[in-house]
Structure 1
Amino acid sequence: MNSFSRQDVLRILQISSRQLLGWEKAGLISQREIYTFQDLGQLRTLRSLREDDVSSASIRHSVAAMQAVAGMSNPLQEASLVRTGTRLAFRCDGAMVDPIRRQLLFDFERVERQTATSEVRALRRASDGIKGIQELFVAAVQAEETGEKHRAISLYEEMLRVDPDYAPGYINLGTIHFHLRQFVRAEELYRQATEKDPGYVLAFFDLGNVLDELERPDESIAAYQRAVELAPRYADAHYNLALAYERKGERRAALRHWQAYAKLDKSGPWSEHARTQIRKLLDGEKLSISWRAASYIAPVKGMADLQVLQRLN
């Protein structure tokens, strides 16, 4: 299985159709109906960068600069895009390049990989004879598509044995258990993803979803809040936070996140729902203020009048 439909992409990457459409409109990826495995990698990179609050404009400018510097037609596929502080760089041909400044950067992560412990290297060698991560991923997705959920689970588990630190693998495996309504196991896997990569926004978002299903609202809200802290412009996290606060009766907190969502998503059914909730909450707040004002006595000028009011009270 080397091609994926648009719906496959939305499900595998756990993104919404509006997110994908937004990336297409921003020129970050071409609009299409069939995607390759390489396209999935490109989209996963985009998702991670957007969750880290890297703007579409910054990504687009860095890609254009890399095309000019290295003569690449598609840097997101031909090189690895990484964030270095507040800037973006690309790894290619054993070097790390800042295409806007046209500078070579010192690749700390590459050095760390080269000095990995003997135990990790032994683990990699022990994986000889097992399919590579890419093949395992494709086989797992294919198993999901044909309804072989348990085979998909086995493949993802094998992938994690090959690379125990691969946080997205925990997410994919957790999502299968989530859809099987095996929420306790899904929670375990999502938590492992947050431990393997504490900056993985989607892990905290998915953890919030499963905790919501487990009817643990305070923990669910905490997970969503962590996602928002990591990526303040993560619209879906604001949306789910607003719903969670509404269920707890915390209207003002819900209003704050509905408003945040409406600013980030300006059109579509979800945006309209958010705006409807904002109107309802504001109308309810007006009624509450009006009710409290029923016994209010307007202030008057002068000490004598104040003394009269005090006696009346």
Structure 2
Amino acid sequence: MPDPSAEVVPSLQSSPILSGERVAFTGTLASMTHRQAMEMVEQHGGTAMQHVGQQTSILVVGEEGWPLEPDGLPSVKLEQARQLHDKGEPIRIVSESEWLKLLGIEPVERKTHQLYTPAMLCQLLNVSVHDIRRWERAGLITSVKKVYRLPYFDFEEVANARRLSKLAASGVRSEQIAASLQRLHTLWPDVVKPLAQLEVMSRGMGGLVFRDDSGLVETTGQRIFDFDPPSPEDEPSDEHSILPLHPAPVVGNVDRQHWTVDEWFYEGCRLAEANELESALEAMRMATIGESNNPLFHFHIADVLYRLKKPDGAIERYYMAVEIDHDFLEAWTQLGCVLSEIGDLAGAQAAFQIALDLHPDCPEVHFHLAGVLEQLGQPEAAVQHWRRYLDFDDRGPWAEIAREHVSPDAQ
């Protein structure tokens, strides 16, 4: 199998593009490792530098997450580059995409800014679907679009969310993170992509809090009371949301006898994220007692049952979700995956085909259907779906698997 990184290096037939340039890198690169980037600098006639100094002419800022150090402080190299720039030194600070464009590597730039489903992001960023849904519910990330309830996200935004969450989990106080984000705006405004509807705030207890259209919420998803909520006409309405924003039940001595359907559902999601699966199941069932025809409730109950190693129960709930809402794309996809796991390949194929009938450009469905067709002894049909998946993704682990099933001359 060819090395994917080799595909992004164009042939050097003209004068070196980076002749005379001294290039350094900071932050995590989304398209390659730092070592590969430094080799590319040398191949294009430039000099790669480990550190930023007066001789540095270009600092490239990586696009996978905020350029923050492990202690939460802004990138040291970015600080140094800004100081040199302010002193009149001819140093340019450019984004990873701008650097790739300078080298004429358009395909990588396009892939860097494509949209991803939660399942694809799980593979690329090594996070769970539950993290992505929690971040979405908390307002930390916002889907760019939804197709039959399936959200698509911008890679950079989710990578930033993962970076912030890791810093918070490692003990970096929210005051430091908030101050660092403000400092990044000062160092280079272009490096910080505005997070729509969000405001990073500090709390005395050291937890990260974000503002969304419904008020204040912690990164755990726990909503807290705000004495200055947004006006009702500003509140969002998205009937396709997988996890709609609802006020969370207050944790503590609370009379749950009068909880609403939405409060029970939110509590079930919270418990599921905390891996308290039996309690989560009971809370979600309480929600269905009040609203039995809500496909979202059945979808999330199915997810909990699957995690409890009860695939038959999960399958039944997925079927209930699609019976209520035939166009529930993610429910059809999950149903196909579970059916495949228990060996019902024909059922899985049928579920995936229905999903593709709804959304022919859904990458993960092509990936899963290809795997089922391979098991059914239909490699020629499977190859068509492996290729379709590679049309949407050529970076992550799933892309590597897809390449292994596509002949070299077909790539």
TM range (shorter): 0.5 to 0.7
| Separation (CA, whole Å) in 2 of partners of 1:223 and 1:163 | 26
| Separation (CA, whole Å) in 2 of partners of 1:169 and 1:40 | 23
| Separation (CA, whole Å) in 1 of partners of 2:141 and 2:287 | 16
Determine which structure has the larger helix proportion and give its number. 1
| Separation (CA, whole Å) in 2 of partners of 1:138 and 1:195 | 23
8 Å CA contact retained: 2:339, 2:345: yes
Distance 1:55 1:231, change over 3 A: farther
SS at match of 1:274: helix
Corresponding residue number in structure 1 for 2:392: 264
* Counterpart amino acid of residue 375 in structure 2: R
**Does structure 1 residue 162 correspond to structure 2 residue 290?**
yes
Query: Displacement of 1:208 after TM fit?
Result: 0.5
8 Å CA contact retained: 2:123, 2:397: no
Corresponding residue number in structure 2 for 1:275: 403
What is the total number of aligned residue pairs between the two structures? 199
| Separation (CA, whole Å) in 1 of partners of 2:133 and 2:303 | 23
C-alpha offsets along residues 251-270 of structure 1, whole Å, 9 cap, x if unaligned?
11101110111101132221
SS at match of 1:278: coil
Instruction: Calculate the TM-score normalised by the size of structure 1.
Output: 0.54
Distance 1:37 1:132, change over 3 A: farther
% of aligned pairs identical?
A: 23
Equivalent residues in 2 for 1:267-306 (5 A)?
267-279=395-407
SS at match of 2:327: coil
Distance 1:161 1:41, change over 3 A: farther
SS at match of 2:292: coil
Corresponding residue number in structure 2 for 1:152: 280
Query: Displacement of 1:82 after TM fit?
Result: 6.4
Query: Displacement of 1:233 after TM fit?
Result: 1.2
Equivalent residues in 2 for 1:242-257 (5 A)?
242-257=370-385
* Counterpart amino acid of residue 269 in structure 2: V
Instruction: Calculate the TM-score normalised by the size of structure 2.
Output: 0.42
**Does structure 1 residue 206 correspond to structure 2 residue 206?**
no
C-alpha offsets along residues 144-174 of structure 1, whole Å, 9 cap, x if unaligned?
2443221111111111122212111111110
Alignment partner of 1:16 out of 119, 141, 148: 119
Corresponding residue number in structure 2 for 1:39: 139
| Separation (CA, whole Å) in 2 of partners of 1:238 and 1:154 | 34
C-alpha offsets along residues 85-120 of structure 1, whole Å, 9 cap, x if unaligned?
xxxxxxxxxxxxxxxxxxxxxxxxxxxxxxxxxxxx
Distance 1:186 1:41, change over 3 A: farther
Alignment partner of 1:175 out of 296, 303, 313: 303
Distance 1:161 1:244, change over 3 A: same
Corresponding residue number in structure 2 for 1:232: 360
Alignment partner of 1:131 out of 237, 243, 259: 259
Larger Cα-atom Rg = 1
Alignment partner of 1:80 out of 237, 252, 258: 237
| Separation (CA, whole Å) in 1 of partners of 2:139 and 2:120 | 16
| Separation (CA, whole Å) in 1 of partners of 2:142 and 2:372 | 32
Query: Displacement of 1:40 after TM fit?
Result: 7.9
Corresponding residue number in structure 1 for 2:20: none
Equivalent residues in 2 for 1:60-75 (5 A)?
74=197
Distance 1:256 1:274, change over 3 A: same
Query: Displacement of 1:272 after TM fit?
Result: 2.3
Which range moved further: 129-138 or 261-270? 129-138
Equivalent residues in 2 for 1:81-96 (5 A)?
81=238
Query: Displacement of 1:135 after TM fit?
Result: 2.3
8 Å CA contact retained: 1:51, 1:231: no
| Separation (CA, whole Å) in 2 of partners of 1:40 and 1:281 | 43
C-alpha offsets along residues 20-41 of structure 1, whole Å, 9 cap, x if unaligned?
989xxxxxxxxx9983745289
| Separation (CA, whole Å) in 1 of partners of 2:133 and 2:281 | 27
Corresponding residue number in structure 2 for 1:219: 347
C-alpha offsets along residues 168-211 of structure 1, whole Å, 9 cap, x if unaligned?
11111101111222111111100000001001101111110111
8 Å CA contact retained: 1:51, 1:233: no
| Separation (CA, whole Å) in 2 of partners of 1:74 and 1:20 | 27
SS at match of 1:249: coil
**Does structure 1 residue 194 correspond to structure 2 residue 322?**
yes
| Separation (CA, whole Å) in 2 of partners of 1:81 and 1:273 | 35
* Counterpart amino acid of residue 388 in structure 2: A
**Does structure 1 residue 241 correspond to structure 2 residue 241?**
no
8 Å CA contact retained: 2:284, 2:301: yes
Larger RCO of the pair (alpha carbons < 8 Å, separation 6+): 2
